[in-house]
Structure 1
Amino acid sequence: DDLGNIRAYITESDPSSAASIANKILSSVTMLNETPHRGRPGRVPGTRELILPGTPYIIIYRVSSDTLQIIAVLHSSLNWP
């Protein structure tokens, strides 16, 4: 799971930041449930991307009529797609 991997990676170098970033990701996902079109149109057709302010992470997701699907949480330095 992306969130667990991100938290483990950050914990190795900065344990205090790991919880803060994980909480930002979780609160952003909660916000997306309420306003799913908040993110920009994604680079892959049918997806959207939410940049997480104050972090190097992007939430990649897809919205259908009644479902929000989180595809990935990626570091912005990674090539996507």
Structure 2
Amino acid sequence: MLRLRFFPAAIADLVDTRAYVADHRPASAGPLVDRLIDRVRLLADHPDAGERLPRLGPGVRRLTEAPYVILYRTTAEEVQVLRILHGARRITRRALPPG
């Protein structure tokens, strides 16, 4: 089992997502964030579950929890959660932390 490491941008994404959804559908905000975190936890045991996205950088993968996508990469010790973004966004390398 790999350790999970949330990059600051991914934490900010979760906070922003919760705030946005809470403004529009308050009862859905908490459960949505819980689902996203549960999906990330899956990666600790199944780090290769996501689709490879070489256009975003070496080792970058995407796991979907519709309509959101979890962008991550792995090392020998950890799953690095880079961003958690709405799937409708056009995602480029610039949206990801360096590395």
In structure 2, give the amino acid aligned to 1:9: Y
3-state DSSP class of the match of 2:73? Answer: strand
How far residue 64 of structure 1 moved from its aligned partner, in angstroms, is: 1.0
Q: What TM-score results when the alignment is normalised by the length of structure 2?
A: 0.76
Note if 1:14 corresponds to 2:25: yes
Q: Secondary structure at the match of 1:78?
A: coil
Quote the offset at 1:73 in angstroms.
0.2
Residue-by-residue CA offset, 1:1-60 (whole Å, 9 max, x unaligned): 1111100000000011111110101101111111111011124132000011xx310000
Unpaired stretches in structure 2, ≥5 consecutive residues? 1-11, 93-99
The normalised TM-score by structure 1 is 0.91
SS of residue matched to 1:71? strand
Relative CO higher for 1 or 2, CA cutoff 8 Å, sep ≥ 6? 2
Count of equivalent residues: 79
Percent identity, please. Answer: 30
The amino acid across from 1:40 in the alignment is E
Q: Which residue of 1 aligns with 2:43?
A: 32
2:45, 2:26 → 1: CA distance? 30
4+ residue runs over 6 A deviation: none
